[in-house]
Structure formats: structure tokens, C-alpha cells
Chain A
Amino acid sequence: MDSTFVIEKGVFIVVIFALTMLMAMYSTWAERKVAAFLQDRVGPNRAGWGGLLQPLADGGKLFAKEEFFPNTPNRFLFVVGPAIAMSTALMTSAVIPWGDKLHLFGRDILLQATDVNIAVLYVFGVVSLGVYGIMIGGWASNNKFSLMGAIRAASQMVSYEVAMGLSIIALTMMTGTLSLKEISIQQSEWHWNVLYQPLTFLIFLICSFAELNRTPFDLAECESELIGGYHTEYSSMKMGFYLFAEYANMFISSTIMAVLFFGGYNYPGMSWAVENLGVNIANVIGMAALFIKICGFIFFIMWIRWTIPRFRYDQLMHLGWRILIPLAIVNIMITGVVILRSEIAVYLGF
């Protein structure tokens, strides 16, 4: 392993980390602006032009707040909770292909931190760990409302993970690979998976809303029933970490939806651009295309939040177990029949 490889990957990982943090930071601003737009208000407009410095002001305020500890015997776990939430939110970006490759300093630089052949499973593994941050934090708060909020959030996430995993099986049956890079390459030139698997995309979208604990599935922080949910006892930057992790998760799940279903970094005419404009320019446009798709998804998630009211808890569980899971299984069967249609035709004697 040569040192340039280590430096290259190190720089790339730091850039992706900074980018995720920046996107999460400005998602908070965008959320307030979108909410204001949808409710015919102005939104934050005092700090900087159009309120652009608002996230910095919020961050500064959170850091300056008093660090309050509830009367709990588990101070260590109380601190570990938000740390786990934040780190699992940041871990997923390791396997995402942000572009094909750049040709710089006489070498090809792959725009992906690591290309493992089980990237989709890795994403699921990290997503399933996100529950720990919430459960440990909610339990260590030593407050029954926090515990109830944490248990609600965790049971919701565990239930929807099942449907999410089943929906992805249909997609991997079609792509034949679990590597996100190969899935991106297969989708070049309008072969976007959403056009072949719209039902899979719909199930995945609904499940990712539930995994993010956002409206219409934000029962974890149902104010009228549970005060503030699992982070009721948190203050200062520990609280900030939980909220920040939610926005980082939003960015990452938008990215995964864009990569799995909406062609990733591919855009119409990419092969033409590679031939005529060079690899570098074509891939910079590709990264920009991916970011436009991501921002579109983030806007969509916010739009849903300010449009649809919250589900009741039994409705949420009914939707997850009785509707989405059978739908996902039917989807797998349809996909299987379509993939094996020629063999089935031969078997039936057509």
C-alpha cells in the first residue's frame, strides 16, 4: 500500500465528512425556509443574507448553553447515546459512489471511499445500529417519557427495517449485485431503476421516512403525548447532536435513494460528455447532478413534513406490518416471474 493511496483516501474521507456536516447544517436552515414558504411566512432573515448565517448562530447558541445532567445513575451511557447517533449517521457515506473517477496528478482517483461488494448490506447494518443511540439515550435519561419515546422510535424503526430489506431484495434480484458502484454503472443513460421498479421505490421511500423518524412517522417526538420524545432530558450540544444526526441521516438517505433508484451520478448524455469534454469535466457535472438529485429528495422530505399530519401509532404499525411487508413480498414474486419469464414459458410449453 503506497502512501499516496492513503493520502488520497484520507483527503477524500475528510471532504465527504465536511460535506455531510455542511449539508446537515444547511438542511436546518432549508427546513425553516421551506416551512416558511409553505406556510406563507418569511422564515429566518436576520443573520446574514436570507438568514444564511442562522445555522452558525444556532450552533453557537447550543454550544454556549448549560450542560444539564438529569439525576441518572448512568451518566456515561447518557453521553454515549448522542455520540452513537451521530457516528452511525456519518458512517454510511463510506460506501457511496459520489462520481465515477477524476484524472488528477497523473492518476485516476475513484470518487468513493471504499468499493466493497456488499455495500447495500453495509448500509443496512449501519441503519440497524442507529436504533442504539436512541434506545441507550432514552433509557439512560431515567425518565419514563424518554423511555417511552425511545421504545416507540425503536419499535417503529425495527418494524420498517423489515419492509425496507424486503423491498431491496427485489432490486438486487434485478441488478444482480450489492455493490453501489456497479448499481450506479448499470443505470447509465436513462436505465434508472425507478423506471423498472416503481413499487420498490415507493416502499423504500415510505420506509426511509419511518427510519428517519420524521413526519408522518414522527411519533417518537409526539409533543402532546411524550413531551419531547427520547431527547426530553438532553440539553446543549448533546441535544444538538441528536437533531444534527437526524439531518445527517436525511442527507444520507436522500443520497442512497438517488444512487439506488435515480441513476446516482449519471445524467443524460454523460458518455457524450466523457468523450467530448474530458473525464474531469464530465464527472464534475456528474457530481453536480447527484447533488441536484439529493437536494430534490431533501426538499421532498421537508415538503411531506409540512403537508401530511402524523399517523396514529396503531395506524403506523398496521401500515408497516399488514400493508408494506405483504406488498414487498408480492413485489419480489412479480420481479422473480419477470426475470424468469422465458424459462417459465418454456416450462409451460409455450
Chain B
Amino acid sequence: MSTVLILFCVLSAITLLTAFLTIFSRNPIHSAIYLVICFFSIAGHYLLLNAQFLAIVHIIVYSGAIMILLLFTIMLMNLNEADEVHKPRFTRLGAIVSFCLVCLVLIKIFINSKPIVEYDYTGEDYQSIKVLGKALLNEYMVPFEFASILLLVAMIGTVLLSKKEKLEK
């Protein structure tokens, strides 16, 4: 077995294990920490594919920002099983339906996907920031701008939501 394959197996095992532990652990903080480890192993997969920029940005955005804010909220709210809100049947049904739809999409993807026989080194530069920047701002200019507008709208929405609470006081 090549080193890449061994690394891939180890990383995949960690990813799957921590993903399952995220769902199954009782303590919400433990779940969050398992999710952080899961994100790290996904960044490891990106590195195996030689996507350095993607790996680092994944770590900065998901592990470094989003998960820290999530941990924050969990620590401050002090979630217990006792004061868990009872979820109405309608939302449970919705959750099951959306889960089934995601499963359908995933099954379709898995049927269509082709197995990677081995990692080839072609020598072409796909991943450096120069190549990515040119691709984003030339070929994918319009979706890029739309994504930034979406983020801006979300940000303004958050500010408005927090402002409203202040006015009510």
C-alpha cells in the first residue's frame, strides 16, 4: 500500500468516527469538539489532494471561526437534557423528509461517481492562489459576486436582528 492510501484510510476513519461521535455524544460541548476534529481531518483530505489553499481556508473559516462561535453559544447557554425544548411532530416529520431527500442526492452521486484508482501527478498548477484568483475573477465572476452579495445581505440581517432586541428593551 502506498503512503497516500494509508493516510487516506486513517483520515477517513477519523472523519467518520468523529462525525458519528458528534451525533451520538450526550454532552453538546463534546459533540462540538468532535466536530472540530472532523473538520480537521477533512482539511487533511484537501491536503492529500494538494489543495493547500482550500485546506487552510477550511481550517480558518470552519475550525477557527464558526466552531469557536458555536462553542461560545453552547457554553453560555449551558444546555441540559432537562431543559431541552420539546419539538413538535411537524418539525420531526420535516427533518425526516429532508434527511431522506439528502440521502437520495447522495445515493445518486455515489452511483455516478467513478473510483479514483491512483493519485496522478500531472505537474499542472490547479491550486495556487494565483490560479484560483484568476479563475474566480474571470470565469466565475458572476457567481462570485452573487455569493458576496448573499453574505452582505446575511450580515446586514444579523445586525438588524440584534438591533431589534435592543430597541425592545
Residues of A within 8 A of B (CB): 77, 116-118, 121-122, 124-125, 128-129, 131-132, 135-136, 139, 147, 150-151, 154-155, 158, 161, 178
- Cα distance A122–B64 in the bound complex, in angstroms: 12
Cross-chain contact of A121 among B53, B72, B75 (Cβ < 8 A) = B53
- In chain B, what residue has the closest Cβ to A135? B71
Q: Distance in Å from the Cβ of B163 to the closest Cβ of chain A? A: 14
Task: State whether B75 touches A147 (Cβ < 8 A).
Answer: yes
- Cα distance A139–B129 in the bound complex, in angstroms: 37
Task: State whether A139 touches B56 (Cβ < 8 A).
Answer: no
- Cα distance A229–B102 in the bound complex, in angstroms: 44
Q: Distance in Å from the Cβ of A270 to the closest Cβ of chain B? A: 28
Task: State whether A154 touches B72 (Cβ < 8 A).
Answer: yes
CB contact list, B48-76 vs A, under 8 A: 52-53, 56-57, 59-60, 63-65, 68-69, 71-72, 75-76
Given contacts A128-B63, A135-B75, contact A117 B128 (CB under 8 A): yes
Given contacts A131-B68, A135-B71, A158-B65, contact A77 B59 (CB under 8 A): no
Task: State whether B56 touches A121 (Cβ < 8 A).
Answer: yes
Residues of B within 8 A of A (CB): 29, 33, 36, 52-53, 56-57, 59-60, 63-65, 68-69, 71-72, 75-76, 128-129
Q: Distance in Å from the Cβ of A247 to the closest Cβ of chain B? A: 23
Task: State whether B129 touches A118 (Cβ < 8 A).
Answer: yes
Other 14 A-B pairs with CB < 8 A, given A118-B52, A118-B53, A131-B64: A117-B52, A118-B56, A121-B56, A124-B64, A125-B56, A129-B59, A131-B68, A135-B71, A139-B71, A151-B75, A154-B72, A155-B72, A161-B64, A161-B65
A-B contact pairs, 14 of them (CB 8 A): A117-B129, A118-B56, A118-B129, A122-B56, A124-B60, A125-B60, A128-B65, A129-B59, A132-B36, A135-B71, A135-B75, A151-B72, A161-B64, A161-B65
Task: State whether B76 touches A121 (Cβ < 8 A).
Answer: no
The 7 closest A-B pairs by CB, nearest first: A128-B64, A125-B59, A121-B56, A125-B60, A125-B56, A131-B68, A117-B128
Q: Which residues on the A side are within 8 Å of B36 (C-beta)? A: 132
Q: Which residues on the B side are within 8 Å of A139 (C-beta)? A: 29, 71, 75
Q: Which residues on the A side are within 8 Å of B56 (C-beta)? A: 118, 121-122, 125
Q: Which residues on the A side are within 8 Å of B72 (C-beta)? A: 135, 151, 154-155
Q: Which residues on the A side are within 8 Å of B60 (C-beta)? A: 121, 124-125, 128
- In chain A, what residue has the closest Cβ to B53? A118
Task: State whether A135 touches B68 (Cβ < 8 A).
Answer: yes
Q: Which residues on the B side are within 8 Å of A136 (C-beta)? A: 33
Cross-chain contact of A116 among B33, B52, B65, B68 (Cβ < 8 A) = B52
Q: Distance in Å from the Cβ of A159 to the closest Cβ of chain B? A: 11
- Cα distance A144–B120 in the bound complex, in angstroms: 53
Number of A-B contacts (CB under 8 A): 55
- Cα distance A122–B56 in the bound complex, in angstroms: 6
Q: Which residues on the B side are within 8 Å of A128 (C-beta)? A: 59-60, 63-65, 68
- Cα distance A137–B60 in the bound complex, in angstroms: 21
- In chain B, what residue has the closest Cβ to A138? B75
Q: Distance in Å from the Cβ of B35 to the closest Cβ of chain A? A: 12
- Cα distance A132–B68 in the bound complex, in angstroms: 7
- Cα distance A158–B65 in the bound complex, in angstroms: 7
- In chain A, what residue has the closest Cβ to B52? A118
Q: Distance in Å from the Cβ of B15 to the closest Cβ of chain A? A: 18
- Cα distance A118–B57 in the bound complex, in angstroms: 10
- Cα distance A118–B65 in the bound complex, in angstroms: 19
Q: Which residues on the B side are within 8 Å of A125 (C-beta)? A: 56, 59-60, 64
Q: Distance in Å from the Cβ of B134 to the closest Cβ of chain A? A: 13
- In chain B, what residue has the closest Cβ to A123? B56
Given contacts A128-B60, A135-B75, contact A77 B68 (CB under 8 A): no
Q: Which residues on the B side are within 8 Å of A132 (C-beta)? A: 36, 68
Q: Which residues on the A side are within 8 Å of B128 (C-beta)? A: 117
- In chain B, what residue has the closest Cβ to A147? B75
Q: Distance in Å from the Cβ of B57 to the closest Cβ of chain A? A: 7
- In chain B, what residue has the closest Cβ to A172? B129
Q: Distance in Å from the Cβ of B22 to the closest Cβ of chain A? A: 16
- In chain A, what residue has the closest Cβ to B67? A132
Q: Distance in Å from the Cβ of A311 to the closest Cβ of chain B? A: 21
Cross-chain contact of A151 among B65, B76, B129 (Cβ < 8 A) = B76
Q: Which residues on the B side are within 8 Å of A155 (C-beta)? A: 72
Q: Which residues on the B side are within 8 Å of A77 (C-beta)? A: 33
Q: Distance in Å from the Cβ of B95 to the closest Cβ of chain A? A: 29
Q: Distance in Å from the Cβ of B82 to the closest Cβ of chain A? A: 16
